[in-house]
Structure 1
């Protein structure tokens, strides 16, 4: 199982994801060579085409950039990236018949473009939701990465079918210090901060928009190229440890149960968690809190029922855990949501 885990130490991320930050940094005279040492920038601040770095290397650079760029940097960075920043999968997206097909193609091969979060398109009856899920356990950067990647996805969609792309609503995690006007000016719709999960909500009619140059032969050829690139860098079938644990519903399972499901020993799982900088307790608790906020926000379930649903021993244990994570009691959170 170990060789199938995408690690924070694996040098598989190309320079594409940094193009927006590098453009902003050049305009603002940041010390880019010091900020992004692993990219091997030339005198003009441009990385070589074949460079690949690990998430651990990228993380230090991204933290520095966020410190210099402020709370709106995720939106501003994503707004600078479009099809040329997506590498080999760009031609495959352009060759699809509809925006929906292009998005699904892009999501299938998002690791080629250096995606550092997992974007997922969840279809509904009238609207669909583009959701950002963590690839690695990194609470310091998650809000920035969510905003950057969702903004990139929308910028790419506009390049595919026109700047008039209509979005219903955007919900972003965390950072209430960010300027709502910056986000709303970019997305062109209401934006809510402090969401459980970062997401873009769009009408299915928009996703059904026809693209101007569908080319089945080019689409098939691009798919072959993308598959070959995934294989060449060792990414075929790879998932991060966090993604595997979330998929196994680790908030409902013990460490021995997870180790058994992964086909490894408890000791090996603990070593993997340590190597990836993951905390089993924090991951499980984060998933519970995400579900708790959903129940409090969208249902009238009692605290006793929510506690039971999330496998807490009683409502008192749930209240303590929620207060510790959110700095509000469940009742205060529910009242706050109603007052918004």
Structure 2
């Protein structure tokens, strides 16, 4: 059984909550049993576990049983701009093939529950989604959302060269099948052997006018770093990371964190050293992760970001960011806007 305790951006939860509110569900009902509240989902710094997002999905389905095709309706809202650095990396890719490679390599930065792979066969290529590990009660929502979101992204990457859509679903033709015809302009198959989005193979290697190989390579590196930082740590370091992420504003006080763990700061320092890390390293990693997400995924000013990350001022934040990433906050933000 797959574990759903890995972390992801709060953006997907924001999208799901907005959808639910639009159709009349209450915020309290949508956030029931998630550990989230209005302040946390409004905060771009928030990182949530996939299990919490699943709880939002379940609440959405429970509160809106009469709304057909909620997964399809949700999928329509997942544009490249919702994915932060991952989305910018795909948008800057020189070819669709490069974008597909990046999308597979960094699936941890997406909002999918179903893993996906790219397959090439004959004149066609396809994105295949494996939903076998997804809990049965949300499988339909998940696969509807993910294939529709993939179609949105492919349209943004491939443009008119994508041609007519061809999608296949393993589930039987549902009562709301007309929504599939509305959202997917081409062929839709049900009771198929696989869940997949099929497109012309030639599209993979056609140069993209808006692609930039240098920018794509840089963002590829940043995606890799972000995945590494998001990987759930084990042991004491994982608990410290959770405490730091929950605190608003984020505490730099090791004594307070140690007290929360019912130990002295000396003991905490020793236990972290045994896990090949330190309190300062954890703080720096979290600050960088949040800084990159806020710079690429929000319109907060550098001054506002510095304040939220507990730097003395914007200058101190910029110096620290350049020391840890090799570039200034302004350079990263400009790169994101170009793509």
2:97 equivalent in structure 1: 100
**Corresponding position of 2:51:** 56
Separation in 1, partners of 2:183, 2:212 = 30
Mapped partners of 2:213, 2:31: distance in 1:
39
Structure 1, gaps ≥5 residues long: 237-340
Alignment correspondent of 2:23: 28
Q: Deviations over 1:91-114 (max 9, x none)?
A: 111111122221221221121123
Alignment correspondent of 2:36: 40
Change in 2 beyond 3 A, CA 1:60/1:16: same
- Partner SS, residue 7 of structure 2: coil
From the superposition, tell whether residues 23 and 167 of structure 1 become closer, same or farther in structure 2 (CA, over 3 Å): farther
Q: In the TM superposition, what whole-angstrom CA distance separates every residue of 1:256-305 from its partner, at most 9, and x where no partner exists?
A: xxxxxxxxxxxxxxxxxxxxxxxxxxxxxxxxxxxxxxxxxxxxxxxxxx
The alpha-carbon distance between structure 1 residues 89 and 55, as it changes in their structure 2 partners (threshold 3 A), is: closer
What's the counterpart of residue 173 of structure 1?
170
Q: CA–CA distance in 1 between the matches of 2:129 and 2:47?
A: 23
- Unpaired runs of at least 5, structure 2: 234-339
Question: Which residue is equivalent to 1:117?
Answer: 114
2:201 alignment counterpart: 204
Deviations 1:125-170 (A, max 9, x none): 2101211113734122122111111111110121223266324521
2:216 equivalent among 216, 219, 223: 219
- The 1:39/1:170 distance shift into structure 2, 3 A limit, reads farther
**CA distance 1:24–1:163, shift in 2 (3 Å):** farther
CA distance in 2, matches of 1:233, 1:153: 23
Q: TM-score w.r.t. structure 2 length?
A: 0.61
Residue 234 of structure 1 pairs with residue 220 of structure 2: no
Contact preservation (8 Å) 1:161, 1:210: no
Which residue of the partner structure matches residue 11 of structure 2? 16
Quick check: 184-193 or 67-76, which moved more?
A: 67-76
| TM-score relative to the length of structure 1 | 0.61
1:221-300 to structure 2, matched below 5 A, reads: 221-234=218-231
Kindly indicate whether the alpha-carbon contact (under 8 Å) linking 1:167 and 1:201 is maintained by their aligned counterparts in 2. Answer: no
Task: Give the number of equivalent residue pairs.
Answer: 230
Residues 50-90 of structure 1: CA deviation (Å, up to 9, x unaligned): 32333333223212212316441111111111011112111
Change (3 A) 1:176 1:235: farther
SS at 1:162's partner residue?
helix
Q: Give, in whole Å, the separation in 2 of the partners of 1:83 and 1:160.
A: 9
The CA RMSD over aligned residues, in Å, is 2.6
Q: Give 3-state SS (helix, strand or coil) of 1:218's partner.
A: helix
Q: Cα 1:198–1:19, aligned 2, differ >3 Å: closer, same or farther?
A: farther
Distance in 1, Cα, partners of 2:104 & 2:14: 19
State the alpha-carbon separation in 1 of the partners of residues 132 and 218 from structure 2: 28
Match of residue 7, structure 1, among 3, 9, 14: 3
